[in-house]
Amino acid sequence: MLRLPLFFIPLLLALLVGCGSRTEESNKLTKEQVETRLAALSCAADEITLPDGPTGGTFRFNSLETPNSLDPAWIRDTASSDIGTSIHEGLIEFDPVDMSVKPCIAESWEISEDGLTYTFKLREGVFFQDNPCFPDGQGREVVASDFKYSFERVCDPRVASPGAWMFLDFVEGSNAYRDGVSARRELERRASGEGRDPNSEDRFRAAEDAQLQEWAASPDEVVGFACPDDRTFVVKLAIPFSPFIFRLGHSFSWVVPKEAVEFYGDNFFKNPVGAGPFKFVEWIPGQKVVLEKHPKYWMKDANGHQLPYLDRIEVSRIEDTNSEHYELLNGHLDFQFPIPIDQWDSIFDADLNLKADYKRFQVQWVNTWRIEYIGMLNTDPLFKDVRVRQAFNYAIDREEIGSTILRYRAIPNRGQVVPGSMPDYPSEDGPFKYDPTKARELLAEAGYPNGQGFPELTLQLNSAGRDNEKIAEIIQAYLAVIGVKVQLKVVDWRVHLDTVREGKVRFYRLGWINDYPSPENSLMLVWGKNIPPMGENYARYQNEKFDELFEKALSITDIQEQNKVFREAEEVAVQEAPWLFLYTMRRFRLVAPEVRGFPFNAGDRRFLKYVWLDKSS
């Protein structure tokens, strides 16, 4: 098979950097240089400022990817979440700066001493946005039964929400409800002569009628979701689970009105109705999404001014990052994120100072909770062998990629499922330092000496700008050095996510940014019970020891002790290399000079209700 000499890699890196007169060595940065220059970089990423004059106007940003869905039950990707956050809200929300938990539609809550019962008091005066789904088009007030409906919908197998993991196994009666719905559906098909449901889980298709009848007797509701009155919503857990409050800030926990879901049917995903600060106006696929101010939004700022400040949000759809950049320069966008590799040297000098043409912009950066990795389908015959997965991890020089291609924008990840910036977590560096000799040895042990007999792989990635492709080309080159030939396949984001979720792709580029500040949200990506279609363990990694430790940690209420057990679980998974670990992202964005109230947090949640435009700038 194709095997490249080691000297080829620096040549390719130099070519991809496109650094003009700079040499490759001058592009390399030490950790100390990076930290010093970042500390000196002016950054307004952690500020919420209040306007003292008229507000309004239109805020414009671009999405490199097509949103998958604006239905909270199906918002599982960044492109959808970036828009959905402005349309929808839930019981709690996260602080726009430090991502701590804050009241939202629930003005307060209590947790029982045993950690099993959560009682939420809903605030009055929270309305769904006006929409034709309501009588006379007027949005009605949000009540407790709306949350029961929304949460049960996520658990419903007919909806097939990828967010079912939020509640299954944890909320009392959630599994019984799901089993009951599935069993009744299977029995109906058999009675009508349609035969076994091809979309059901294997256990339902294989079950005898007697077993299905037993499951079908389950309540047609999740008994753990209760509404004593319109202002009180109660969640009863089956087991203590201290991170549960964080989950209620996830997109899967946003509230939707039953009227809208029934009115729009299968088209609800592109006709969303929520209780957030902006109402949906239109979605022209491949062109734009438009939102407008929700005039009956409940929240006011500290000075008593009604939120949101903006009149309108326009989200364009430009795939090419360079074209996106020119739109920013010409005043047609209000920020660009991330800053593309191809434009980096045009914006910053060698010491990370803005060049003259960019001094009018604000630059923000943050160490995020986003990890980037190459997924390996662990159930595939090639990747069942842990030695192959480990070999791939030893074959990649993350430091070289970071110091030349990504420079300030990434922290090498030699084996961490939980991002190193996770608060209060005892993070440790991983074991996979660059060692092509060890990579070849492991491949040989697995039966592929010098890559001989190893089939050609296709690395699938989504079309999200040239940055993705550059990194994929580097991965391709490093694997060629150990005798593994890789072809690249770039597809649309929705196609990419769907095929990965369905287990149709064995080698793929993906990332994950924590939805909330808990290591549980990272580690559930490799939890054996979180395999699609109900969960997001796309690699289908399974290890009994990991599952045992992970599940033990879930019920521990002391954070330090819980994190200690989470760390033990992480170590088990890391040693088995479920993914090809790449890096944790440090993100930068360029922001137009007039934009205010736009904090940059580790979870990259965009709370546009706080944004206002300073017309004096």
Distances (CA, A) of 157 to 110, 161, 178, 263, 348: 30, 7, 6, 20, 50
Neighbours of 368 (CB within 10 A): 21
Question: What pLDDT does residue 22 have?
Answer: 43
Are 103 and 92 spatial neighbours (Cβ–Cβ below 8 Å)?
Answer: yes
Give the pLDDT of residue 615.
Answer: 82
Which residues lie below 8 Å from residue 253, measured CB to CB, with a gap of 6+?
A: 72, 90, 91, 150, 151, 154, 166, 247
Q: Number of C-alpha atoms within 13 angstroms, CB side, residue 222?
A: 32
The whole-number pLDDT of residue 9 equals 58
Residues with Cβ within 8 Å of 317's Cβ and at least 6 positions away in sequence, in order, are: 62, 63, 66, 286, 287, 288
Dmax (CA) of the chain: 76
In 10 A of CB 560, how many CB atoms?
Answer: 10
For 60, phi then psi, to 5°, come to -125, 130
Q: Do domains 69-271 and 367-586 have the same CATH topology?
A: no
C-alpha distances (whole Å) from 402 to each of 228, 231, 338, 466, 584 are 54, 51, 16, 16, 10
pLDDT along the chain (617 residues), means of 10: 50 52 52 75 67 90 94 94 98 94 98 96 99 97 99 96 93 96 89 78 83 90 98 97 94 98 98 99 96 98 94 96 94 93 88 92 92 97 98 95 82 95 89 97 97 97 77 94 96 92 96 93 96 91 98 91 97 98 93 93 94 86
The structural domains of the chain, with segments of one domain joined by +, span 69-271, 367-586
pLDDT for 20 equals 38
Using CA atoms, how far residue 461 sits from 195, 466, 491, in Å, is: 37, 11, 6
Domain covering 367-586, topology: Dipeptide-binding Protein; domain 3 (3.10.105)
Say what the pLDDT of residue 24 is. 44
Pairing between β-strand 612-613 and β-strand 410-412 as defined by DSSP bridges: unpaired
Rounded distance between C-alpha atoms, residue 188 and residue 182, angstroms: 10
- Residue 66's SS3 state is coil
Element housing 26 (H / E): helix 24-27
- Contact (CB, 8 A) for 314 and 288: yes
Q: What is the pTM of this model?
A: 0.86
Query: Options 3.40.50.740, 3.40.366.10, 1.20.140.10, 3.90.76.10; which CATH number does 69-271 get?
Result: 3.90.76.10
